[in-house]
Amino acid sequence: MRHDRLPLLGVFAVVLLASVAFSISSAFAQSLPAGVFWARQFGSTQDDGINDMASDNANGAYGGGFTKGTLPAQTASGGNDAFVTRYDSTGAQLWIRQFGTSGNATVTAVAPDGAGGVFVAGTTNSTFGGQTSAGDIDAFLARYDGSGTQLWLKQFGTVAPDSARGLAADGSGGVYLVGTTVDAFTGQTSAGASDAYLSRYDSNGNRVWVKQFGTSSNEQAEGVEVSGTGVFVVGSTPGTFAGQASSGAQDVFIARYDTNGAQVWVKQFGTPGLDVGTDIASDGSGGVVMTGGTVSAFAGQTSAGGFDSFTARFDGNGNQTWLRQLGTTGSDFPAGLLSDDTGGAFMIGSTSGAFPGHTNAGGSDVFVVHYDGAGTQTGMLEIGTSGGDSPGGIAKWEGVAPLFIGGAVGSGNNSALAGQANVGLEDAFVAHLNPALDGGATTPALTATPTGGPTPTPTAAAGPSSVPIIHQLV
């Protein structure tokens, strides 16, 4: 999950977010936990942020998100634009591409294409060049090669609002995509107010199939992952799936599909309160690890206060192996999840509090926590500036340890990362972490600093490719 996912937690979460008071402290320098190799801050003179990250399979990473301005050497298309960027392992920005419509657009999910390039998905309330609007808010899917050339872009949807929330490579050059629709796709039937959907696309952007599912209430699909022979979807529902029981105000669901789009099973679980499912990752053994949030407490767990995050592991048959709830006395929101290739996972989120042994830098911080395959927490980082900082995604290349994270920093007071300069209002950032987290490297890269300072290392690439990319909607 990503920087843009927090508004989808529902009205209750919006109230919680509104209640978080960002402390606007005086300029100071604060050393943060070891484990950060480097950090890069970039953007326009307006608000910018990364919503998701993905490996480039070459020791670097892709990030996708939104800008409300014009990025260096790029051209604005409309209101808010989307962007995709690529960084190498040294922190050099190889290229960035800004694209959009005459309205608003944002990238909400990215995934490697298996050939060194990247799939990006998002939403727009207007129309891309050469495409047709289905109505209201549409989803889109695009593919870029490793050099930043847009190979194709497909816009799709129903006559009502549609979203694209998660992507996962299918292992055959194509990609699985999940989201939410308020209407019905061709050949599908609406189950209620809003439904989840899972679709598969080939390497050329042709839709292979789409499956829509839900209850009589409002479903939101947030993440998708391939594990073994299954395709797993995670999301939230205030309703009740057939054969399942509702636990409270809103539950988490996990559904398994085969590669042809047939649903194998769906599992619903939760607390007596409001719960959300936000992202999912393979456990390497045909099962999955997922993350989400709750305002209550799961069985055998304790609520720390406010909104807590949780991480859980399920086998391929939907049986829960373990669940761990994590939080501070503030509000803690899960954003994204990444497999560690050994049955465990790294989770990235935001917190308005401070975890034991860690210090809140001010406002909301970004944190990363690791659980091994048995559910034991082995490390954590809490990093931030004196302003409001938001997580946007986490990535690494398979079989190699270092992590990439992305998001947005400096909301509320235009603060900057150590060695960086605030470019505008809220800026996007990318950071490179040791997977040992607080037990890792000794080079602090994120500190709360005033605006100003040295010019960031990354530089913008030449202008956008022939087809523009999409950014965040208002």
Where residue 13 falls among pLDDT bands split at 50, 70, 90? very low
Give the per-residue pLDDT at 32: 40
Condensed to tens digits (0 to 9), the pLDDT of residues 239-268 reads 999 999 999 999 999 999 999 999 999 999
Mean pLDDT confidence for 284-299: 97
Instruction: Please give the sequence-ordered ranges of beta strands (E in DSSP) within 315-453, or none if there are none.
Output: 320-326, 332-339, 345-351, 365-371, 377-383, 388-395, 403-411, 427-433
Residue type, 428: A
Contact 347, 367 (CB under 8 A): no
Does residue 337 have a pLDDT over 80?
yes
Give the per-residue pLDDT at 244: 98
Give the per-residue pLDDT at 444: 31
Contact 239, 179 (CB under 8 A): no
The count of other CB atoms within 10 Å of the CB of residue 187 is 9
Give the per-residue pLDDT at 399: 66
Q: Which two tokens stand for residue 442?
A: 């000794």
Does residue 473 have a pLDDT over 80?
no
Give the per-residue pLDDT at 420: 80
Q: Distance between CA 412 and CA 356 in Å, rounded?
A: 26
Q: Which residues of 416-441 are buried (b: 16+ CB within 10 A; e: fewer)?
A: bbbbbbbbbbbbbbbbbbbbebbebb
Give the per-residue pLDDT at 468: 26
Give the per-residue pLDDT at 3: 41
Condensed to tens digits (0 to 9), the pLDDT of residues 111-145 reads 999 999 999 999 999 999 999 999 999 999 999 99
Does residue 180 have a pLDDT over 90?
yes
Give the per-residue pLDDT at 36: 87
The mean-pLDDT minimum among 122-126, 176-180, 459-463 falls in 459-463
Give the per-residue pLDDT at 37: 87
Q: Residues near 315 by Cβ (< 8 Å), separated by ≥ 6? A: 285, 286, 287, 321
CA 197 to chain centre: 18
Where residue 401 falls among pLDDT bands split at 50, 70, 90? low
Does residue 439 have a pLDDT over 70?
no
Q: Distance between CA 124 and CA 147 in Å, rounded?
A: 24
Give the per-residue pLDDT at 278: 98
Q: Which comes out higher in pLDDT, residue 21 or 398?
A: 398
Give the per-residue pLDDT at 438: 72
Three-state secondary-structure class, residue 86: strand
Three-state secondary-structure class, residue 282: strand
Q: Distance between CA 29 and CA 385 in Å, rounded?
A: 9
Average pLDDT along the chain:
87
Condensed to tens digits (0 to 9), the pLDDT of residues 29-42 reads 344 447 888 999 99
Give the per-residue pLDDT at 359: 85
Condensed to tens digits (0 to 9), the pLDDT of residues 352-394 reads 999 998 888 888 999 999 999 999 999 999 888 989 999 999 9
Where residue 417 falls among pLDDT bands split at 50, 70, 90? confident
Mean pLDDT confidence for 235-242: 98
Where residue 400 falls among pLDDT bands split at 50, 70, 90? low
What pairs with residue 274 in β-bridges? 250
Does residue 469 have a pLDDT over 90?
no
Choices 1.10.3720.10, 3.40.50.300, 3.90.870.10, 2.130.10.10: CATH for 3-439: 2.130.10.10
Contact 325, 302 (CB under 8 A): yes
Q: Which two tokens stand for residue 376?
A: 């034991």
pTM exceeds cut of 0.85: yes
